[in-house]
């Protein structure tokens, strides 16, 4: 297919399928090569008339060729860039626009594809809000959102009164840079993600941003906050010079989210992983073992099924509350034998699954044998007149080759566990 046919198809696609204005300009001199009907409508010009112009005649913030060269050089490292500008209309008025820019080849020439969105209505509303003193005062002092204003040229930050309340301090307590103070109280584990999010926005990769992080209060505790922001002013190169944003306390909702997440992964009674989360570890460890096997390395993956002996008798004799306490006692005891890359999950009832990766088969089997022996001589002391002694039967299956699956490994370990019970309980059988 010839290049001219491809260019025609591209023009047809852009005209018929894209709901935003499109301009294609040459990268070397900013000459307009193509203008979609909507772009012409925006600027009150006929398509051919617009295509005879350069971007210097259209973009009010594009001053000279040196600026254009600097901008295109920046785009070579940041291939998708978003900026706000003002475009001249035929009648001399200006249209506020948001422009997304990307590289393409058009007419055998390195070109820039400009996707242009009319944001004049949004800009008018933003200006009305800025000029409304009553609304501005209310937002800054009474609203439950904190508002901030970051001047990137001066590297200074204004915080509304509620931002200080979130930190638990008064404005007068800040010594030195307000920006440094705010950055300092972000939780160390959240700083990297927060900075990356803001950095991507500054580089034009996002139209606006939203981040969630923990904020340290004066007394040393942390609250969860969610921040939002967007660029409201740019320099002649299109780089942000001012970013406005808000921050709100989301501690309560985040606590609820974390509680729901915990219950989706852990067994509420024993506090070990639940079956669902256990399957996720099973899948991950098996993948690691299969990868190692494919590289002619030991799989070092073991599956153990543990079942408390005569658990029903404990329930029948002492009641379910004592039975629950026994499950808690057993899970705490087993966790004392876990090493790195070992996890314990409650599979159901009195049955637990212990998964191990990265340990030699013989070492793992020896550790399970020690667990069984020591558990049998450990007494459980509930709220009864005498201690209760129980034992555990365990079946172990070790990864052998790439044909092993979750189902085959578990079935083998489960069958070995029942074999151990058949041999008198309080023992270990290997599949």
- Phi/psi at 33 (5° precision): -100, -30
In this prediction, residue 404 carries a pLDDT of 92
Report the alpha-carbon distance of residue 45 to residue 116 in Å, rounded: 15
387 lies in the same domain as 282 = yes
Residue 274's region, left for phi above 0, alpha for psi from -120 to 50, else beta, is: beta
113 lies in the same domain as 139 = no
147 lies in the same domain as 237 = yes
In this prediction, residue 11 carries a pLDDT of 63
pTM of the model: 0.58
Q: Is residue 346 part of a domain?
A: yes
What would the mean pLDDT of 363-383 be, rounded to a whole number? Answer: 92
In this prediction, residue 50 carries a pLDDT of 81
306 lies in the same domain as 224 = no
Q: Is residue 123 part of a domain?
A: no
Domain limits for position 362: 266-430
Report the alpha-carbon distance of residue 394 to residue 418 in Å, rounded: 8
In this prediction, residue 82 carries a pLDDT of 82
- Phi/psi at 348 (5° precision): 155, 140
Q: Is the pLDDT of residue 139 over 70?
A: no
- Phi/psi at 64 (5° precision): -150, 175
Based on the structure, what is the number of domains in the chain? Answer: 3
Report the alpha-carbon distance of residue 96 to residue 59 in Å, rounded: 10
Under a CB-based contact definition with an 8 Å cutoff, are residues 87 and 43 in contact?
A: yes
Query: Domain boundary at 216, 251, 286, which?
Result: 251
55 lies in the same domain as 136 = no
- Phi/psi at 389 (5° precision): -110, 125
Q: Is residue 256 part of a domain?
A: no
Give per-residue pLDDT as tens, 297-352. 999 999 999 999 999 999 998 889 999 999 999 999 999 999 999 999 999 999 99
Confidence of residue 1 (pLDDT cuts 50, 70, 90): very low
In this prediction, residue 277 carries a pLDDT of 95
Residue 215: CA count within 13 A, CB half-sphere? 25
240 lies in the same domain as 175 = yes
221 lies in the same domain as 274 = no
CA-based nearest residue to 349, from 267, 410, 279, 282 = 267
CATH value at residue 175? 3.30.450.20
**Contacts (Cβ under 8 Å, ≥6 apart) of 392:** 306, 307, 308, 309, 330, 371, 372, 375, 376, 426
Q: Is residue 127 part of a domain?
A: no
Give per-residue pLDDT as tens, 284-299. 999 999 999 999 999 9
Confidence of residue 12 (pLDDT cuts 50, 70, 90): low
DSSP sequence for 22-34: EEEEETTT-BEEE
Query: Domain boundary at 118, 143, 158, which?
Result: 118
- Termini Cα distance of the chain: 63
- Phi/psi at 345 (5° precision): -135, 140
86 lies in the same domain as 151 = no
In this prediction, residue 257 carries a pLDDT of 87
In this prediction, residue 70 carries a pLDDT of 87
* Mean pLDDT of the chain, nearest integer: 88
289 lies in the same domain as 193 = no
403 lies in the same domain as 287 = yes
In this prediction, residue 399 carries a pLDDT of 95
Q: Is the pLDDT of residue 73 over 90?
A: no
Q: Is the pLDDT of residue 15 over 70?
A: no
296 lies in the same domain as 355 = yes
User: What's the Cα-to-Cα distance from 323 to each of 257, 360, 382, 418, 425, rounded to whole Å?
Assistant: 31, 34, 10, 21, 19
Confidence of residue 197 (pLDDT cuts 50, 70, 90): very high
Q: Is the pLDDT of residue 31 over 90?
A: yes
């Amino acid at each position: 297919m010839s290049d001219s046919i491809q260019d025609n198809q591209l023009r047809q696609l852009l005209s018929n399928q894209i709901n935003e204005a499109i301009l294609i300009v040459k990268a070397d001199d900013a000459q307009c090569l193509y203008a979609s009907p909507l772009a012409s409508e925006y600027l009150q010009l006929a398509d051919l008339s617009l295509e005879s112009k350069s971007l210097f005649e259209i973009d009010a913030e594009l001053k000279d060729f040196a600026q254009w060269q600097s901008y295109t050089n920046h785009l070579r490292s940041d291939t998708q860039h978003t900026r706000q500008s003002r475009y001249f209309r035929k009648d001399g008025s200006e249209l506020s626009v948001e422009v997304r820019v990307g590289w393409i080849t058009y007419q055998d020439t390195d070109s820039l594809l400009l996707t242009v969105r009319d944001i004049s209505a949004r800009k008018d509303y933003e200006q009305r809000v800025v000029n409304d003193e009553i609304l501005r005062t209310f937002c800054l002092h009474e609203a439950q959102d904190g508002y901030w204003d970051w001047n990137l040229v001066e590297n200074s930050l204004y915080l509304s009164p509620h931002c200080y309340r979130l930190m638990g301090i008064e404005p007068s307590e800040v010594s030195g840079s307000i920006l440094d103070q705010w950055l300092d109280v972000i939780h160390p584990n959240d700083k990297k993600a927060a900075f990356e999010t803001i950095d991507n926005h500054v580089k034009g990769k996002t139209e606006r941003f939203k981040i969630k992080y923990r904020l340290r209060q004066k007394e040393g505790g942390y609250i969860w906050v969610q921040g939002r922001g967007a660029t409201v002013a740019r320099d002649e190169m299109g780089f942000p010079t001012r970013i406005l944003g808000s921050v709100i306390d989301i501690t309560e909702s985040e606590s609820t989210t974390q509680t729901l997440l915990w219950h989706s992964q852990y067994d509420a009674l024993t506090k070990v992983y639940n079956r669902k989360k256990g399957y996720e570890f099973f899948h991950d460890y098996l993948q690691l073992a299969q990868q190692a096997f494919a590289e002619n390395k030991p799989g070092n993956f073991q599956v153990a099924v543990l079942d408390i002996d005569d658990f029903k008798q404990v329930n029948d004799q002492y009641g379910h509350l004592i039975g629950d306490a026994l499950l808690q006692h057993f899970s705490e005891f087993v966790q004392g034998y876990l090493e790195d890359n070992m996890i314990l999950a409650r599979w159901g009832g009195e049955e637990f699954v212990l998964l191990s990766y990265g340990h030699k088969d013989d070492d793992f089997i020896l550790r399970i044998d020690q667990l069984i022996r020591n558990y049998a001589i450990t007494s459980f002391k509930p709220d009864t007149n005498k201690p209760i002694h129980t034992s555990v039967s365990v079946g172990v299956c070790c990864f052998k080759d790439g044909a092993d699956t979750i189902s085959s490994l578990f079935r083998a370990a489960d069958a070995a566990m029942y074999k151990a019970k058949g041999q008198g309980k309080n023992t270990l059988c290997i599949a």
